[in-house]
Amino acid sequence: MLVGFTAATNLADGVLKMALPLLAAQLSSSPAQVTAVSLTLTAPWLLIALHVGVLVDRLDRRHLLWAANAMRLAAMGWLTTTAVTGSLSLLPVFAAGAVLGVADVIAGTAGSAIVPAAVPPAARDRANAWVSGAETVCQEFAGPFVGGLLMAAGTGLALGATWAAYAVAALTLLLLSGRFRADHGAAAPASVNARIAEGVRYLWQHHLLRTLALILTVLCGVWGGWLALIPLYAKTEMGLGAGEYGLVLSALGVGGLVGALTVTTVNRLLGIGWAMFADLLGTAAMVALPALTAQTWAVAAGAFLGGMGGTLWTVNSRTLSQRLVPDEMLGRFSAASRLFSWGAMPIGAALMGLIGELAGLRAAFAVFTVATAATLVPFLRTVMPIRLGD
């Protein structure tokens, strides 16, 4: 049921990832305004992630998933109504994006923390691969492809279909049974700030997890910038329509699907460290190719490599954290980690938009290529000597 919920919500997220920035590009030609839409979707990770982590460790994680989907349904219902009545502007797009961003923080933190309660340790590798595969196929492949077709057919249809996907996801949670509230020791700190500090301290004092979180911070900033600017780049530099752009963005999902299907084999042949290192190379290719050429096949190839590397990283990092972090700390740890990493996505989007506004779109991709390359040395020097498979 968790895989089904993940599939439905990520299908809707994939449609929105394509539709909202593209919708903004139709309403404005300013790189800063277009990237601001992606900023609203990702900024909540920077603003509220730590407090959400406390909630995840205190409350039933399944109830939090229900609350997140209720917020999604409300936001999409309002945005769809605005589009159908012909009064759509950037303001309601920004407002809906902000609500959806908050819901994503709640669902993402609770969803990752619920896996240890639902899956025994021996099966978590496979479960994380299935969940990650569902995320990738639906959000990166099927979602953008379907979103491109729906946007070509009509904005109201695309937004309404997204609302329906979130509704289906909410229904699947009714079939998820069990106890999903973490057990707490008697010495657990009582205040919210104390509990937040405990989670941040656990991450920062763990050498391996801290290093991986800092590297992921750079990678997520790059991804946030790429996702924010690629709709405008596809329209102005590549000359693509909504359907064609959806196909290019779907290359992310194809790569991610390949990564999910091969992660066990790659780990066995190369080791977990080199499998995660592949994400650094894939992300570098993803941002470097648009800086070098506007050829559709090349940009799609870069997206494929980025998607594959991202899945290899995601599956392995989730399994590592679920093995190393106590269940009663998992929500706060996940929130603290994503504060650094996913919180960098809105910063990356803002920087990409600013550089694109001042120096041009290709220059923005070039700068972010250099930022990705800067992560190679610390990963090789700090992470690779550690036996991640132990």
Please give the chain's pLDDT, 390 residues, in tens.
Answer: 666 777 788 788 878 877 887 788 777 777 777 778 877 887 888 788 888 888 888 888 888 988 999 999 999 998 888 888 877 788 888 888 899 999 988 988 888 777 766 666 666 666 777 777 677 667 666 666 677 777 777 778 888 888 888 888 888 877 766 667 766 554 555 677 788 888 888 888 888 888 999 999 999 999 989 988 888 898 888 988 877 877 787 788 788 888 888 888 898 898 888 999 999 999 999 999 999 999 999 999 999 999 899 889 988 888 888 788 887 788 888 888 878 887 788 889 889 989 988 998 999 999 999 999 999 998 998 888 876 654
Q: How many residues does the chain have?
A: 390
Fold (topology level) of 2-173+192-383: Growth Hormone; Chain: A; (1.20.1250)
φ, ψ (nearest 5 deg) of residue 341: -85, -65
What tokens appear for 372 in the block?
């990705």
Q: Would you kindly state where each structural domain of the chain is located, as residue ranges? A: 2-173+192-383
Spatial CA neighbour of 170 closest among 291, 77, 43, 253: 77
Residue 303 and residue 45: Cα distance in Å, rounded?
24
Please, which residues have CB within 8 angstroms of residue 28's CB and are 6 or more apart in sequence?
34, 90
Torsion of CA 351, 354, 355, 359, to 10 degrees: 180
What is the residue type of 301? A
Spatial CA neighbour of 301 closest among 313, 284, 318: 284
